[in-house]
């Protein structure tokens, strides 16, 4: 039976990405990517000297075997405390097709 994969996306406060990745690996993830982003969903935009301060975020992407992706998402959510308003979100999305997943495939079949 062919292994299915899902993409766990964690959008967390800037500087939290490394901690989130470490927790995801502890939960069974084999690797991840951290991107920089700016949040625009917050209603509370702080202003300093009349300039809007944008909320900088780390965007963590984890391609994960489907059977552990919910656990990976839960761990990311707990570490980033996403239940607290304004701290981030975690999503799990299906991967319809993936290339270059050989590290995940070889690790999952060992």
* pLDDT tens digit sequence for 60-85: 999 999 999 999 999 999 999 999 98
Average pLDDT, the chain: 84
pLDDT per position as a tens digit, 6-18: 999 999 999 999 9
The C-alpha torsion from 12 through 5 and 32 to 34, rounded to 10°, is -40
- How far is the C-alpha of 105 from the C-alpha of 47, rounded, in Å? 47
Contact between 56 and 38 (Cβ < 8 Å): yes
pLDDT band with cut points at 50, 70 and 90 for residue 104? low
- How far is the C-alpha of 101 from the C-alpha of 80, rounded, in Å? 26
pLDDT band with cut points at 50, 70 and 90 for residue 95? very high
């Amino acid at each position: 039976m062919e292994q299915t994969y899902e993409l766990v996306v964690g959008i967390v406060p800037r500087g939290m990405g490394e901690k989130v990745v470490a927790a995801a690996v502890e939960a069974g993830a084999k690797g991840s990517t951290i991107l920089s982003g700016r949040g625009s969903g917050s209603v509370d935009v702080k202003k300093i000297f009349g300039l809007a301060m944008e909320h900088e975020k780390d965007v963590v992407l984890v391609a994960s075997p489907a059977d552990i992706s919910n656990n990976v998402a839960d761990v990311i959510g707990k570490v980033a405390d996403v239940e607290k308003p304004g701290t981030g979100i975690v999503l799990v999305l299906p991967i319809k097709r993936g290339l270059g997943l050989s590290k995940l495939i070889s690790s999952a079949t060992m």
